[in-house]
Amino acid sequence: MSDGRLYDGFVPGRHQIDAYGNGGFRFADMSHRGSILALPSGIKAWPVGSMKELSGEALDPILAEAEEIDLLLFGTGADIAALPGAFRTRFLEAGIGLDVMQTGAAARTYNILLAENRKVAAALIAVG
């Protein structure tokens, strides 16, 4: 993370997720410990360590880019977990499709859809 491209927990541009696990992710020739949002504007640190910590405020950065997102892949960690209905409604109202799955599956699917130049984003909770 010290190559100068990470500013305030943000790397501009669209990047593949190279690896995940051990509490973080590798992307853009860097590593990040903790959860991330992979958005059309770039990859940013996301202060959500588990589904229990998920709040409406944590979803705001995703919704701020709704016009550029057709599908959000939501990685819930090592285990799949349901996204509360109120959060699902916010994405539906913003016109964002939603697919909830384990973080590993979400990262792999994100890479495939990104390679196809799709309007995809990912909210990925880090796994140990």
Q: Residue 90 above 70 pLDDT?
A: yes
Q: Residue 1 above 70 pLDDT?
A: no
Cα-only R_g, the chain: 13
**Is domain 10-124 in CATH 3.40.1230.10, yes or no?**
yes
Residue spans per domain, the chain: 10-124
Task: Record the pTM.
Answer: 0.92
Give the chain's count of helices (H) and strands (E): 3, 9
Q: Tokens 């992710």 label which residue?
A: 25
pLDDT, average across residues 71-81: 97
How confident is the model over 24-56, as pLDDT tens digits? 999 999 999 999 999 999 999 999 999 999 999
> What is the distance between the alpha carbons of residues 91 and 87, in angstroms, rounded to a whole number?
7
